[in-house]
Amino acid sequence: MNEVLHAIAGRYSCRGFSGQPVSRADLETITRAGTQAPSARGNAPWYLAVVTNRELIGQIRDNAFEVLIRRDKEGHQRIVERGGDLFYNAQALIVVATRPTHDLTPAEFDAGLLTENICLAAHSIGLGTCICGYATNAFHVFRSPDGERFSRRLEFPYGYQMTVGILVGHPALSKEPHPADTSVVRFFE
């Protein structure tokens, strides 16, 4: 198996990180890989805030968790069952923001490609990642106590919106990658 296929087959959502910090060099490597993703018309409609400040990560996590408690009982229960830490002790949080492109495909589609590039690049250098949709809750202007403040603190350019979070760290827990379900693939020859 070549290296790309090996990374794709081995990636999994890591839900337990050690306390070891992620180096700036590694974060630069994986975010660079992210920005090498394709995007519609080459728009590259993304902005990445790479957060390693413990206090700030904690504030984003706590705001997101508060929204979860109030608005998503099932999601809250799932996180409690996983140990209660929404960010699994991740030492870095990459906040992916996008601007609307008014293209045939939404900017979030492009952000998804960038996100998977980051996850695969991270996996290939021994880091764990977990895409974190719950992190978006923290940035919600009405629901989250500090929603607007985080976008300002992370210096989102005008018109950019929180799209998804990526937790990054050194894995303390691993799991088997989910099995590929190839039954959804049809060939027309």
Ligand X SMILES: Cc1cc2nc3c(=O)[nH]c(=O)nc-3n(C[C@H](O)[C@H](O)[C@H](O)COP(=O)(O)O)c2cc1C
Residue 118 Cβ vs ligand X, minimum distance, rounded to whole Å: 12
Which residues, numbered 10-39, are part of the site for ligand X (CB under 6 A)? 12-13, 15
**Three-state DSSP class for residue 94:** strand
Q: Which is nearer to ligand X, 30 or 131 (CB)?
A: 131
133 binds ligand X (CB under 6 A): yes
Residue from 132, 138, 162, 166 in contact with ligand X (CB under 6 A): 132
Among 91, 120, 108, smallest CA distance to 31 is for 120
Residue from 131, 138, 162, 166 in contact with ligand X (CB under 6 A): 131
**Three-state DSSP class for residue 20:** coil
Residue 24 Cβ vs ligand X, minimum distance, rounded to whole Å: 25
According to DSSP, the β-strands at 46-51 and 128-132 are unpaired
Residue from 5, 178, 184, 186 in contact with ligand X (CB under 6 A): 178
83 binds ligand X (CB under 6 A): no
Whole-Å CA distances, 14 to 18, 143, 182:
11, 27, 23
Q: Which is nearer to ligand X, 92 or 187 (CB)?
A: 92
166 binds ligand X (CB under 6 A): no
Q: Which two tokens stand for residue 46?
A: 């993304």
Residues 141, 149: Cα–Cα separation, whole Å: 9
DSSP state of 133: G
Contact residues: ligand X, CB under 6 A: 12-13, 15, 130-134, 164, 177-178
